[in-house]
Amino acid sequence: MLNCEQIMPESKPIKNLKFNLQNSPIILGISAFYHDSAAALLVDGRIVAAAQEERFTRKKHTPDFPEQAVRYVLSESGLKLSDVNIIAFYDKPFLKFERLLETYHGFAPRGLSSFIPAIPVWIKEKLFMKRTLAEEFAKIGSFKGKFLFPEHHLSHAASAFYPSPFEEAAILTLDGVGEWATTTICHGQGKNISVLRELRFPHSLGLLYSAFTYYCGFKVNSGEYKLMGLAPYGDPGCEQTKRFKKLILDELLDLRDDGSFLLNMEYFDFATGLTMCHDKKWARLFSLKRRKSEADLSQEYTNMALACQQVTEEIVTRLAQTARTLTGSRNLCLAGGVALNCVANGKLLKSLMFEDIWIQPAAGDAGGALGAAYAAWHIHSGCDRIPQAPDSMRGAYLGPEFGHSAIRSCAGKHSAPFKEYPDFSALCADTAGLLADGIVVGWFQGRMEYGPRALGNRSILGDPRREDMQKKLNLKIKFREGFRPFAPSVMEECISEFFDLDRPSPYMLLVAPVQESRRLKLPEGYHSMPLFDRLYHLRSDIQAVTHLDYSARVQSVSRATNPRYWQLINSFRQLTGYGVIVNTSFNVRGEPIVCTPDDAYRCFMRTEMDYLVMGDFLFCKKEQPAFEDSAKWREEFQLD
């Protein structure tokens, strides 16, 4: 495990921010002990830093107490734990324990196999959370302040509304489960949040989606985005897809007009068991056995993924309409794990039900740390709120940053060949040239992103025009399933040139169609073609970021928010005429996104990535650069 000095060798206190430390509480929010542990720090009501623990410990989705994330956010602020007035934990353990006991009692005698191992952990640790937290924080420093425990979905709602640009908004939170709530509809007004409606466990859209994730052979709590990416491979016109959707609506749940629903728990096992659903009952219902992990993907599972996605979109749309009716608001904020379903988000936007939608970029449990801190600031402390445009998240660039000396130190440690650029414009021009030649480049700049998406500071980049780029990135760089799609990063000024989208999408949380003028006609019988034949069939002039249904998960890049990344894409535009590049997270399958220069260099060397840019340095591998035979480049990279 790294210590704080190793993580932040060049950290500087509260850069370019002015705070009133005498009259304002300093609030530390954390999420921990379930999955995606994180820490976030508010000073004078503004976000100083936020990060997930997985980035430091290198354990993906870690539930561990976020010690390294806490040390980082304090280091970034220049504060000590003793300076903190309030620590806010993102849910209420007593309520969660109540739900656990009542659920086991309600389903008894079922669930004994999971009850026996769960209860000792709760009695020993989770039930006495305040004591547990005090013991963990004592390892970091002295804390004499107050612990607060806002409810889980209030933390989600606070994370969605308070950083948004809206003075008032409807708030929709959807996830697996918090204490009791699985879905809430709230109304945010100024500094206040009112809870209007609540759907309770076990009736959960997040757990329904996770059940299909499990049944299609992916890992729960991390594979849901794979199911979303698989859905466009389904055939929307075929009888099997329609039958699957009808079975879901007729047998698995009772959906009401307002978006509320009841799950038929005869088919599900997550309430008290060790799996998501009853495999044999599902196999009889759908005439399809559960797919084993890593087994070949047949058309049946793609049709099932599509049916589940269609039902999810229907539920989200009905819930949003209810939120619109209850609040009368023309603005909507979203958070909770289901809010990461960017396909459903895009459909909501297209419906014109709301004038504007804002989604928390760290919508899952990691974002609960920030929401808990905001709830402590505005609700507990009663501090006023002044909305900011475009939002208060500062692009979600809230993690550690590493300067020249840290990158040079990494180069020395690994004896890595590199070229340093005194002129960043020249570095962008050369990198754009590499991308245009079909070369894959790692891109490591500035502060690490908060949330699950790489937004141009911890990214792997490619040329979207290349027919082979999607395959190359999946199989040779990311080492992941070949069907997985990639997202475009597009200059904010060029969005409508490439996508049917009339507003920025800075956090990669909206799916939009590729412009019709860029599409190529699909052949007859396209949906009956083998999966990978469809995948590799040419669909547009930005093939690498065009999914099978002509959709794309868009990230718009603002010159004001991320000038370095914008400058690179602009250099690519000047060279090729395309103000868009492929952006995927800087990691390989099963690992968190890289945090430090050392993480980035190790990932670079373990893949077939061609070049790596860190800060003002361009790194290559020790073999001769692929794009240049001249002695000049060998000399500049110190290869001789």
pLDDT at position 101: 74
Helix 404-414, helix 597-606: angle, nearest 10: 40
- The overall longest dimension of the chain from CA atoms, in Å, is 76
In one-letter notation, the amino acid at residue 64 is D
In this prediction, residue 14 has a pLDDT band, given cuts at 50, 70 and 90, of very low
In one-letter notation, the amino acid at residue 475 is L
Q: Are 7 and 56 in contact (CB under 8 A)?
A: yes
pLDDT at position 630: 43
Is 117's pLDDT higher than 80? no
Q: For the ranges 155-169, 261-275, 360-374, 445-459, which has the lowest average pLDDT?
A: 261-275
* pLDDT (tens digit per residue) in 442-462: 999 999 999 999 999 999 999
Q: Are 70 and 40 in contact (CB under 8 A)?
A: no
DSSP-derived secondary structure for 604-619 = HHHS---EEEETTEEE
In this prediction, residue 208 has a pLDDT band, given cuts at 50, 70 and 90, of very high
pLDDT at position 105: 61
In one-letter notation, the amino acid at residue 189 is Q
pLDDT at position 526: 87
* pLDDT (tens digit per residue) in 24-47: 789 999 999 988 999 999 999 999
**How high does pLDDT run on average in the chain?**
92
State percent of the chain over pLDDT 70: 90
Average of pLDDT values for 54-79?
A: 97
Q: Are 254 and 243 in contact (CB under 8 A)?
A: no
**Burial of 193 from C-beta contacts in 10 A (0-12 / 13-18 / 19+):** buried
3-state secondary structure of 640: coil
Helix (H) or strand (E) holding 129: helix 129-138
Q: Are strands 253-255 and 46-52 parallel, antiparallel or unpaired?
A: unpaired
Q: For the ranges 331-340, 529-538, 545-554, which has the lowest average pLDDT?
A: 529-538
Is 49's pLDDT higher than 60? yes
**End-to-end Cα spacing for the chain:** 36
pLDDT at position 637: 60
* pLDDT (tens digit per residue) in 549-596: 999 999 999 999 999 999 999 999 999 999 999 999 999 999 999 999
Q: What are phi and psi of 262, to 5 degrees?
A: -120, 130
Average of pLDDT values for 334-341?
A: 97
* pLDDT (tens digit per residue) in 246-273: 999 999 999 999 999 999 999 999 988 8
Is 122's pLDDT higher than 70? no
Average of pLDDT values for 337-363?
A: 97
Residue with structure tokens 């209810």? 322
Average of pLDDT values for 104-128?
A: 68
* pLDDT (tens digit per residue) in 276-331: 999 999 999 999 999 999 899 999 999 999 999 999 999 999 999 999 999 999 99
CATH 3.90.870.20 placement within the chain: 404-636
In one-letter notation, the amino acid at residue 523 is P
pLDDT at position 99: 77
CATH superfamily, with its number, for domain 205-359: ATPase, nucleotide binding domain (3.30.420.40)
DSSP state of 581: E
pLDDT at position 434: 97
* pLDDT (tens digit per residue) in 503-530: 999 999 999 999 999 999 988 888 889 9
Average of pLDDT values for 64-85?
A: 97
Token reading at 334 = 């979203």
pLDDT at position 113: 65
Q: Are 394 and 388 in contact (CB under 8 A)?
A: no
pLDDT at position 102: 76
pLDDT at position 21: 55
**Burial of 383 from C-beta contacts in 10 A (0-12 / 13-18 / 19+):** middle
Q: Are 407 and 414 in contact (CB under 8 A)?
A: no
CATH 3.30.420.40 placement within the chain: 4-157+364-394, 205-359
CATH superfamily, with its number, for domain 4-157+364-394: ATPase, nucleotide binding domain (3.30.420.40)
In one-letter notation, the amino acid at residue 385 is R
- Whole-model pTM: value is 0.92
* pLDDT (tens digit per residue) in 588-636: 999 999 999 999 999 999 999 999 999 999 999 876 454 454 445 556 6
Average of pLDDT values for 372-391?
A: 96
- Architecture of the domain spanning 404-636: Alpha-Beta Complex (3.90)
State percent of the chain over pLDDT 90: 83
In this prediction, residue 3 has a pLDDT band, given cuts at 50, 70 and 90, of very low
Token reading at 124 = 């020993």
- Beta-bridged to residue 198, according to DSSP, are 184
E strand map for 131-202: 146-148, 168-174, 181-189, 192-200
Q: How far apart are CA 323 and CA 312, in angstroms?
A: 16
Token reading at 219 = 């890992």
